[in-house]
Amino acid sequence: MYLKLLSAVIVFGAWEIAGRIPVSYAFPTFIESMVALAQMTFDGTLFTAYGETLRPLIIGVAISAFIGIAMGLWIGLSNWFDWLFSPIFIVMQAAPLAALIPLLVMAYGIGLTSKVFVICIMAMPVIVLNTASAVRNTPSSIKEMARSFMGSDLEILLKIIIPAASPVIFSGLRLGVSAGFIGAILAELKITPTGVGDIITFSRSIADYPSMYAAIFSIILLAVLFLNLLERLENLLFEGNNRGYVSD
């Protein structure tokens, strides 16, 4: 806990010093950015913006998590399915998303659907590939032991594979959520300026750099809080797992 606070003090202190030097006229101090963040919070601007940003983000992350974990389980359990679908998600993960956004806009317009697709393209490959890797690396000795006790395939999946793979699955889920946040802001910057992306774009256009950095900081803060919540949920649901192995 103390190390995390020290890390934050170092980062914010370096930000303040860099803003006072300054390293650039477009780089405000940490204090100026926090004042702008407080102003946007108290006048309701930030809440209104997040009302727009969180809608595609929640939908996209929910779709990515549900389909991604299901696909990852299937890929990890089936060599044929792995051969057929793994390359698709590897290409999705490696593809330059900014180059695909115009194609999504042409196909689905500039509304909610395009933004959800951007978030899914960013988040789903990470979740699928991590889940598949976790399932494939489940200790075979545990699965063989379950079969020797006449365990069915469904029982092995629910009682052996998923609990053993859960830490890596949740790690992939956290990475997917992080990618989803990036996708949500990228969609707002590249497709149509709404929500927090609109604050960033408008603040940059009028040289209100403290507000621009405050909006960016708020995104990072929300992502960190959400990832910590997922980590606590993982510890609550899968207590007793250690590095993907059942210890109890």
Q: Closest Cα to residue 56, out of 179, 180, 174, 176?
A: 180
Residue 69 near residue 124 (C-beta atoms within 8 A):
no
Please give the average per-residue pLDDT across 60-79, as a whole number. Answer: 90
The residues facing 241 across adjacent strands are 246
Model confidence at 237: pLDDT above 80: no
Which pLDDT score is estimated for 238? Answer: 64
User: Which amino acid appears at position 45 of this protein?
Assistant: T
Please give the average per-residue pLDDT across 179-202, as a whole number. Answer: 87
Model confidence at 245: pLDDT above 50: no
The SS3 assignment for 239 reads: coil
Model confidence at 135: pLDDT above 90: no
Name the H helices within 109-157.
Answer: 112-136, 140-148, 153-156
Torsion over CA: 65, 176, 7, 204 (sign): negative
> CA–CA separation, 61 vs 67, rounded Å?
10
Domain ranges within the chain, ordered by starting residue: 49-246
Which pLDDT score is estimated for 40? Answer: 93
Model confidence at 201: pLDDT above 80: yes
Q: Which two tokens stand for residue 248?
A: 């109890």
Confidence of residue 208 (pLDDT cuts 50, 70, 90): very high
Model confidence at 243: pLDDT above 50: no
Model confidence at 42: pLDDT above 90: yes
Q: What is the pTM of this model?
A: 0.80
Which pLDDT score is estimated for 241? Answer: 53
Kindly report, residue by residue over 149-172, the tens digit of the pLDDT: 776 777 777 778 888 888 888 888
Q: Closest Cα to residue 180, out of 98, 100, 116, 87?
A: 116
The residues facing 246 across adjacent strands are 241
Residue 199 near residue 213 (C-beta atoms within 8 A):
no
**What percentage of the chain exceeds 90 in pLDDT?**
27
Region of 28 (left: φ > 0; alpha: ψ -120 to 50; beta: rest) is beta
Q: Closest Cα to residue 213, out of 226, 196, 227?
A: 196
Please give the average per-residue pLDDT across 69-74, as a whole number. Answer: 91
Confidence of residue 213 (pLDDT cuts 50, 70, 90): very high
Kindly report, residue by residue over 83-114, the tens digit of the pLDDT: 888 888 888 888 777 777 888 888 888 788 88
Please give the average per-residue pLDDT across 176-183, as a whole number. Answer: 88
Name the H helices within 43-111.
Answer: 45-77, 79-94, 97-108
Kindly report, residue by residue over 2-25, the tens digit of the pLDDT: 777 888 889 999 999 999 888 888
pLDDT higher at 136 or 217: 217
Domain 49-246 CATH class label: mainly alpha
83 phi, psi to nearest 5 deg: -60, -35
Mean pLDDT, the chain, whole residue set: 84
Which pLDDT score is estimated for 246? Answer: 41
